[in-house]
Structure 1
């Protein structure tokens, strides 16, 4: 039993490190409330990416879309990004953004906390870029 618990803990810590590594590589926050504070200061919406280290579609989304130069440039220009583990980070971000459907990306108004748009599942980089255009347009309309 001790061996099983030790292995389970080891796997958990290894998986947690993968999300932290991804966040560090692409410059995403790991803490929702820190990201929200910066978003308010910079007057940019929050892009909340909810993933799970056990999720193959999440890994593909990170690798193929979020790490692409096109998406990285646009995210940096228009959003404050944060990546959350749907299991490990429970209680560290608002309940209305908890989900079992992965990956899920929420675009959130930094001032009101309201969802601008929710994107479910894997998206190719061009599709995700077009989605970001839609979010930017919607966000700017609501600001006027």
Structure 2
């Protein structure tokens, strides 16, 4: 009888942890990034949503910090569906980075549905700053 109770308690604890992690855990979640800037810009204009463009490189420690601590945050998750998201690898798409005047990474642009750059964030923003900038363009 006591073994059954311990088993039930362990199962409930594991289920609770899995549920909590699915709702609030940071690992594994990221906005739905697209790779095609032009196509996603057209889509953002059609849907009248802002476009968040993240310029990064795989070797960039501050970019990895942003991926780990900013993008999966509750603040960003709460507003992620209010915008469309594009990631631009500066090593692969250097011309696009040059066209936007990107001089350091990560650089995040928030572009309005008309194609105007409204915010330029250089370096990893705080989760609150990124969420507020998105909402300022998307409307509350």
Task: State whether TM-score is above 0.5.
Answer: yes
Matching residue of 2:53: 48
- The alignment covers a number of residue pairs equal to 112
Q: CA deviation at 1:90?
A: 2.4
- Work out whether 1:108 is the aligned partner of 2:111: yes
> Unaligned regions of 5+ residues in structure 2, if any?
1-28
Where in structure 1 are there 5+ consecutive unaligned residues? Answer: 1-23
What is the CA–CA distance in structure 1 between the aligned matches of 2:138 and 2:42, rounded to whole Å?
Answer: 19
Which residue of 28, 32, 37 corresponds with 1:32? 37
- Shift of residue 40 of structure 1? 1.6
How far off is 1:25 after superposition?
A: 4.9
Q: Tell me: CA distance 1:120–1:73, structure 2 relative to 1, closer, same or farther (3 Å).
A: same
Question: Structure 2 matches for 1:61-72, cutoff 5 A?
Answer: 61-72=66-77
Correspondent of 2:124 among 118, 122, 129: 122
Structure having the higher helix fraction is 1
What's the TM-score, normalizing by structure 1?
0.67
Q: Give the whole-Å Cα distance in 1 for the aligned partners of 2:62 and 2:97.
A: 23
Q: How big is the alpha-carbon RMSD for the aligned residues of Structure 1 and Structure 2?
A: 2.3
Larger radius of gyration: 2
